Amino acid sequence: GAGVSQSPRYKVAKRGQDVALRCDPISGHVSLFWYQQALGQGPEFLTYFQNEAQLDKSGLPSDRFFAERPEGSVSTLKIQRTQQEDSAVYLCASSFDRDSYNSPLHFGNGTRLTVT
Amino acid sequence: DAKTTQPNSMESNEEEPVHLPCNHSTISGTDYIHWYRQLPSQGPEYVIHGLTSNVNNRMASLAIAEDRKSSTLILHRATLRDAAVYYCILRDVGGTSYGKLTFGQGTILTVHP
């Protein structure tokens, strides 16, 4: 079946612009995670949704970052007034169960954001 | 979160076995050992996980030390497609961790033809 889909695949933004990154998780998956991956580094956790509820946003680096999942399926990560340090690959992952050790995360291929 | 230690890089030849080590001396009783890998320009991909016993699946085997302070991911016959960054992660499914994964630097595996 279809995996996790992210769009756009690449995004170039001028410093100060707002961007919106979309994630379509696997249908029926309860949990949804956003990660940020800088070049040469491992992914870093940003935020977690269980259905439409955002239960953990401890990894969001500033109040310029905002995520939503209003109907418990598609999620959008919004970055306001982008800065050069926001340049990274943004990864979305979903899993079937909540809190389940037997439910692996399925990752999309990410959106590469470049802020010029 | 409990931390893991992995070598920065390893090399292998095609069709030979590969043993990727991971140390996790501060592992707690509720931590599961997960392995993910990330191929170039792709998102991470689940490989295998375990708690105490050794595990096998179609991709790999996971050998867990009796004291759980270390583990080894085994690729039985490496192929060029196995060249990737391999992450060993302790996944705590208790409390308010919500099962999130905390990635380290991982091991870059190079496979030579």
Q: What is the pLDDT of residues B42-61, one digit of tens each?
A: 999 999 999 999 999 999 99
Q: Which ranges of chain A have pLDDT less than 70?
A: 1, 98-101
Predicted confidence (pLDDT) at residue B22 exceeds the cutoff of 80: yes
Q: Which residues of B touch A7 (CB under 8 A)?
A: none
Predicted confidence (pLDDT) at residue B110 exceeds the cutoff of 70: yes
Contact B67, B90 (CB under 8 A): no
CA distance A106 to chain B (A): 7
Residue B86: exposure state from Cβ atoms within 10 A (0-12, 13-18, ≥19)? buried
Measured between CB atoms, which of A56, A95, A106 is closest to B96? Answer: A56
The pLDDT, as a whole number, for residue B95 is 67
Contact at CB, A43 and B44, closer than 8 angstroms: yes
Q: Does A105 touch chain B (CB under 8 A)?
A: yes
Q: Does B52 touch chain A (CB under 8 A)?
A: no
The pLDDT, as a whole number, for residue B82 is 97
Tens of pLDDT, residue by residue over B60-101, are 999 999 999 999 999 999 999 999 999 999 988 766 777 788
Contact A67, A49 (CB under 8 A): yes
- Token duo for residue B79: 């192929």
- Token duo for residue A50: 């269980």
